[in-house]
Structure 1
């Protein structure tokens, strides 16, 4: 009864026949997939890059234009997502703005759903100085073991850090390989796992890093064993990481979250 009620109000419905069984990949927009320059905000918070923009958008309701710069390799990355995963866009921006930008960078309409600021929680995370729009992956579906979020901003990852692939901000002033190598490589590593969270916990160590800084999380014995193994084996290649995954976690064992201070 409760599960049926949850599904009624979940942000995402069941997977389509095309996507059945595929890993759900939820992507942030600004500074993850692209950089958007707002001339009205160019007062120290933003700057206009020296490179040529990929699109100029007429943002009529705000009486301005938006200059859109795609992250390197974005077009090929979106084709790759469309073929192999269930891609979703989730931004903290308002719907009108997000739709304008996504329409510009995704002419093939590969994203199965679009989620906006209205789908975020507005709150002040523990130990954080200000209120933020925070994404709660548990509101997407009742089972989040095969949902991964690709994000550049850590406040967006606070509620379920073990579901995140973190990448550097893109501000259109440098070339990078995140969408060409880093993110696709990680997605390839996890796409067939029954539960992606133990693997991503070991790879990115977000909870461990934050706990070391005295923020947010208490470490479980599992976290401490993981950190010890990572120190011992390193993270330089997939085989060592796979070895560590098999050694530390039983793939058939149900995932249990660490206690968190929230």
Structure 2
């Protein structure tokens, strides 16, 4: 299987900075079979991801997949979601840092 991963500008820098300072859980609303391959490329040579959580761990709300931090068993005062999709963090908007949608066009 051949695919490409285009990283958002700064993602390596923020992951390197966060490593060892924070527990990092990647909660991805995609199918495990696809996103696990993408994550391998995203965090290549980095040992920093404490948990990888996929679509099957999301809850459904109005036919949309929603990440629910309450199900992770963490103190919500110490947890943030970084996401570009408001549907993904509908249960804990107060814990969210909303980022812009990333698009990269190949020339």
Shift of 1:142: 5.2
Q: Which has the larger radius of gyration?
A: 1
Q: How does 1:37-116 map to 2 (within 5 A)?
A: 58=1, 65-107=2-44, 108-116=46-54
Q: Is residue 103–residue 109 contact of structure 1 (8 Å, CA) maintained in 2? A: no
Consecutive unaligned residues in structure 2, runs of 5 or more = none
Return the alpha-carbon distance in structure 2 between the equivalents of residues 94 and 145 of structure 1. Answer: 28
Shift of 1:122: 1.9
**Superposition CA RMSD, Å:** 1.3
Return the alpha-carbon distance in structure 2 between the equivalents of residues 66 and 88 of structure 1. Answer: 24
Q: Is residue 91–residue 117 contact of structure 1 (8 Å, CA) maintained in 2? A: yes
What is the TM-score of this pair, normalised by structure 1? 0.38
State the secondary structure of the residue aligned to 2:101: coil
What is the TM-score of this pair, normalised by structure 2? 0.89
Q: Is residue 20–residue 48 contact of structure 2 (8 Å, CA) maintained in 1? A: no
The alignment covers a number of residue pairs equal to: 104
Paired residue for 1:164? 96
Q: Which residue, 110, 130, 147 being the options, matches 2:79? A: 147
Return the alpha-carbon distance in structure 2 between the equivalents of residues 143 and 105 of structure 1. Answer: 27
* Bigger helix share: 1
